[in-house]
Amino acid sequence: MLRSKEGTALNKTNTTLTGPRSVPAWLVISLIVVGCGAPEVAPGPTGPAGPADETAVAATSPQASAPVGLALAGDPQRGGQLYDTWWAVTEAEAPTTDHPLWATQSTNTRGGADTWRCKECHGWDYKGADGAYGSGSHLTGFTGVLASAAKPAEEILAAMNGGTNADHDFSAVMGEQELADLSQFVTQSLIDDKALIDDKKASTGNPADGRTRYEETCASCHGPGGNAINFGSIGEPEFLGHVAPDNPWEFVHKVRFGQPGWPMPSAIANDWAESDVADVLAYAQTLDTEPAVSGGAQLYDTWWAVTGAAAPTTEQPLWATQTTNTRGGEETWRCKECHGWDYKGADGAYGSGSHLTGFTGVLGAASLTPDAILAWLDGRTNAKHDFSTVMVPAELNALATFVQKETADVTSLVGADGKSVGDPVVGREIFDGTCAACHGKDGKKRNFGDDKEPEYVGTIAVDNPPEFLHKAQFGQPGEPMPAGKALGWTSQDLADLLAYAQTLPTE
Ligand code: HEC
Ligand code: HEC
Ligand code: HEC
Ligand code: HEC
């Protein structure tokens, strides 16, 4: 789920620290990188933090003229994200082999990229075998890093460079800047979660205060019920209401440092007290674990992006029964290609133009029984309309729920001129509150097309309002984009959002 990366406002070097010790910022932001010869600029993979900027900061900081080696400012908040999943921060490829130290244990049977995450060996609670990873499938027996917080940052840096154990050398996969960030993280930002989380994994915080904070900071993406972004699958959904009680240590780490690769706010960057984090945890432990939407809509869009299957290479058997739409291959397997973004098939937008197939829509099928819809999806009604070979029953059920309960005729939201009937001024608030974090205030931060033919949120809103409305309500397949339906939007909200999005740049 970490395919796309964001350069975010997480790059502050002078982060105010809420770590165990309180040290003047000027003292903690610089660190001497030992054991490095030529003063080259941070090599290797560099993340969105832009090491050039950080180096510039170091050059003007009090330690810049330090006689030993190269002085680099470390950002402990970025270090915390590197500790979670460093390649999502540096935008490097995820490792495919096992970490060299992995073979020295046999109890944790994971392999590949997971074995390279600091958290997999040292724990979300920083206590390794002395904490939550002291039993269960994550047990490795490896030590924690909490005790290292008392050491000088130079010593931690040396350990990251393989100075204490050659197999603990991360300098081949991360640059000097990243190792400096990690060293600052270990020495400045670790906390003992014991004050926040009791023996039964319950938060010691106040859920009522947490609710206020949650609604201000988290609900715009995760939804009021915490179920607008699914971290799991359709068959086994995972929402904030699962993570907070099951793994409160992970929850606390992510809330403090942010989610690697995504513009999720960081409690540290926002100067929250640790008790504020505990409050949000307390509230999140009461959130829904039931999905707000079935997930079928994303399957209707591009099912293989959700299921993780390979995209089909042949043509869907029914495709040969029409000749007007000349697309081929995977496109012919998308429900939307035959039944339309407006769910009306030949009676809607796909009634003319290059997408015309003449196939019917699915809006009428809402009146069928769930089993009659399933009979369409698993080929019992028409053997050429069989999707049970490419999707599991939970996915087919989600599609049936979508067809029966979640489709709606949205044509009334758009006038004959293709313009939304909504109010762009109200829509702007929705866009700025939820969409802008990932798509930018002008909707141009993500280009869905290419350099030659760029496609932005504004482009889709103008060119294809039904597609925009589908994605805004249900999210983007395979990406953790919030589902508007789970944010509690009415159709008026949707129309307003569309109206504003239609004012955004299209190229
Ligand atoms: C595959 C497991 C594994 C991974 C991944 C891993 N470590 Fe370690 N780490 C260990 C082991 C084992 C030790 C201790 C023993 C040693 O040095 O021989 C250790 C020791 C440490 C120490 C203590 C060093 C000291 O001298 O005080 C720190 C700090 C540390 N690791 C930080 C990290 C950070 C940060 C990352 C992520 C970049 C990381 N580790 C990734 C296994 C791992
Ligand atoms: C700008 C949108 C945004 C905001 C605001 C936001 N998050 Fe997130 N959050 C995300 C995204 C995106 C992910 C990554 C999901 C993925 O990779 O599947 C995520 C992941 C998480 C995870 C990790 C879940 C897991 O197990 O992988 C937690 C915990 C979390 N968020 C909590 C919060 C809390 C608490 C707040 C408020 C303090 C918050 N988030 C605010 C977008 C956001
Ligand atoms: C290659 C084109 C094509 C694809 C892809 C396709 N369908 Fe169909 N679908 C049809 C045709 C043709 C019919 C039959 C219409 C008829 O005979 O009345 C149909 C019928 C249906 C019906 C019954 C409609 C009714 O009113 O009785 C439903 C529901 C349905 N499809 C859902 C889906 C879903 C969900 C997907 C994606 C998993 C999907 N279809 C993918 C072509 C397609
Ligand atoms: C947590 C980040 C996040 C948030 C918040 C978010 N999106 Fe997205 N959105 C994405 C990602 C990732 C994609 C995939 C496109 C890409 O490859 O960049 C996407 C894709 C889209 C697309 C379709 C692109 C295509 O392939 O055709 C539309 C339309 C869209 N978003 C609209 C919105 C709107 C409207 C909102 C606010 C209601 C929103 N998004 C909020 C991350 C987000």
Domains detected in the chain: 25-190 (no CATH), 194-284 (1.10.760.10), 296-409 (no CATH), 412-501 (2.60.40.420)
**Separation of CA 493 and ligand 4 centre (Å):** 17
Residue of 335, 387, 389 best suited for mutating to test ligand 3, as the one with most atoms within 8 Å of CB: 335
Which candidate, 32, 28, 26, places its Cα nearest to that of 61?
26
Cβ neighbours for 503, distance < 8 A, ≥ 6 positions apart: 424, 458
Which candidate, 489, 504, 482, 456, places its Cα nearest to that of 229?
482
3-state secondary structure of 386: strand
Which pLDDT band holds residue 73 (cuts at 50, 70, 90)? confident
Flag whether pLDDT at 43 surpasses 80.
no
Q: What is the four-CA torsion angle of 474, 478, 479, 481, rounded to 10 degrees?
A: 10
Which candidate, 272, 268, 300, places its Cα nearest to that of 483?
300
Residue 71 has a pLDDT of 52
- Greater model confidence, 340 or 47: 340
Which pLDDT band holds residue 45 (cuts at 50, 70, 90)? very low
**Separation of CA 481 and ligand 4 centre (Å):** 6
482 lines ligand 4 (CB under 6 A): yes
Q: Is residue 457 a contact partner of residue 439, using CB atoms and an 8 Å limit?
A: yes
Cα 331 to its chain centre, rounded Å, is: 26
What pTM was computed for the model?
0.89
Task: Compute the C-alpha angle 253/191/145, nearest 5°.
Answer: 90
- Per-residue pLDDT tens over the stretch 259-280: 999 999 999 999 999 999 999 9
Cβ neighbours for 153, distance < 8 A, ≥ 6 positions apart: 31, 74, 183, 184, 186, 187
Beta bridge partners of 203: 197
Averaged pLDDT, 38-66:
34
Nearest protein CA to atom 22 of ligand 1, as residue: 145
Residue with tokens 């933090």: 49
How many CB atoms are located within 10 Å of the residue 324 CB? 13
> What does 338-372 look like in DSSP terms, one character per residue?
HH-TTS-GGGTGGGSSTT------SGGGGGS-HHH
Residue of 6, 236, 259 best suited for mutating to test ligand 2, as the one with most atoms within 8 Å of CB: 259
Provide the CB-side half-sphere exposure for 449 (13 A, CA): 13
Q: What gap in Å lies between CA 445 and CA 450, rounded to an integer?
A: 13
- Greater model confidence, 44 or 299: 299
Beta bridge partners of 161: 169
Beta bridge partners of 31: 72
Cβ neighbours for 21, distance < 8 A, ≥ 6 positions apart: 188
- Per-residue pLDDT tens over the stretch 412-461: 999 989 999 999 999 999 999 999 999 999 999 999 999 999 999 999 99
- Per-residue pLDDT tens over the stretch 304-314: 999 999 999 99
Nearest protein CA to atom 27 of ligand 1, as residue: 148
Nearest protein CA to atom 40 of ligand 3, as residue: 335
Flag whether pLDDT at 69 surpasses 90.
no
Residue of 473, 474, 481, 498 best suited for mutating to test ligand 4, as the one with most atoms within 8 Å of CB: 481
307 lines ligand 3 (CB under 6 A): no
Residue of 84, 116, 121 best suited for mutating to test ligand 1, as the one with most atoms within 8 Å of CB: 121
pLDDT > 70 in the chain, percent: 86
**Separation of CA 83 and ligand 3 centre (Å):** 46
- DSSP code, position 388: T
350 lines ligand 3 (CB under 6 A): no
Beta strands in 160-223 (DSSP E): none
Beta strands in 396-450 (DSSP E): none
Cβ neighbours for 115, distance < 8 A, ≥ 6 positions apart: 95, 98, 99, 102, 121
